[in-house]
Chains A and B, each alone.
Chain A
Amino acid sequence: MEYTSSELLAVVASRELAGRRTVFAGIGLPTLAASLAHLTVAPELETVYESGVCGAHPSHLPQTIADAVLITGAEAVLSMPALFGYVLQGGHIDVGFLGAAQIDRWGNLNSSVIGDWHSPTARLPGPGGAMEVMANAREVFVVMRRHDRRSFVDELDFCTSPGPDRALAEGFRPFGAGVTRVVTELGILGRTAPGDELRLVAVHPGVTAARVREATGWELAVADDLTTVEPPSAGELRLLRDDVDPARVYLR
């Protein structure tokens, strides 16, 4: 069955949510993945949005993390101090989804600048709540549409959201495991605990480990038990297309 890159990423990310209870999701692919997981591998999954919405039941696919359709009919809408202080910092989030302009081998993320912070080549949106998600979610999944050496870098231009290794190096005890999964157009990178580097654990059908290593800006280690990702099933694609995003807002 034919599928697009967005459909592949959404399906693969949804499978990673199997058995999880709470997910902190942004708009776009993370919302698609969480919505699909809710229909497949994680029926009990509660999606929490940075805007303060818990247990959303939207009538339409949300266009922003603060879309009015997320509020109407939601189970709870919290203030910012409650959302960031109690829900996130209090340790209630199993998985946080993050994106970034750059990621390194330890799963540290840059979403602030390309170039020097004081006189950047490109000023990016910055941390938002990403730093809080990284510091406080049990684990973090990153979805990157493009897998290339501009994004998968040996050294970040700026570390906005640090993984646990950088926290430990400064003498702070981290709460979560940091980035444990990176889903890209080429495959899946994984790491399990502080001290681990991201390794290539799976490739999409037709993609070789050599090609992924070539597209990565550091010496990417390959898992001994490297697997090939099971392509999206007809059932997964039907749910995604007919139920999750029938207007094809994000399924480009």
Chain B
Amino acid sequence: MRVGIVRFPGSNCDTDMYRAVTVGLREEAIFLWHKSHHLEEVDVVVLPGGFSYGDYLRCGAIARFSPIMREVIEFAKAGGLTLGICNGFQVLCEARLLPGGLVRNASLRFRCHNVGIRVENSDTPFTRAYEQAQTLHIPIAHGEGQFVADNETLDELEGENRVVFRYVDDSNQTTLEANPNGSARNIAGITNAGGNILGMMPHPERHSLKVLGNTDGLGVFESLLLAVSERKLAAKPIHEGKMVGTQ
């Protein structure tokens, strides 16, 4: 599997992501420069966390118009596996590849700590290595991670099983206290209707190596590896032997 990590000016989780893929998973990762127009034949595109373009105007609003986003949007719309973490999630919403938006945390504080998130749908290319309803402990680090959308959109996301992660407490319950940013319905991560684009505020790459003390996040990358292998197998032409004799 070849993972392309987009580097915007202000990205700062790009190297963590690189290590999660190359050290945690032992797969190939490359960096994609924001001014480039080539995705270099990658199987997965990752928009990493950070403060692209200084978060000017709105988080992700300027990055959305980076040169490489033309190809990223094309790739994602054609069904390419696309993962946006934190600032990457904000960019995906600004690019309208995912519904809703991310605004200031209800607490007005930058929150940087571990949270519990529950896997709400383990049948996606990003979560199949997890059990349904499994709780993961993953760090968050954001000031603008409150997911908002109108009720109709929220109902649609829930009805179509597109809420992939929710913030939960130690008892795996979606309580108000477990919600670090005031996100609607405790939503921590969602997919598009096609299921090939995931945006999430928590940082799985920061919990993907043993040396970091926790590998709960590695499953996202293991899931992607499974999904990519499956896709490659399906794309391979099947050469059947000629039938000999009579049936």
- B is bound to A: no
Q: Residues on A close to B: CB < 8 A? A: none
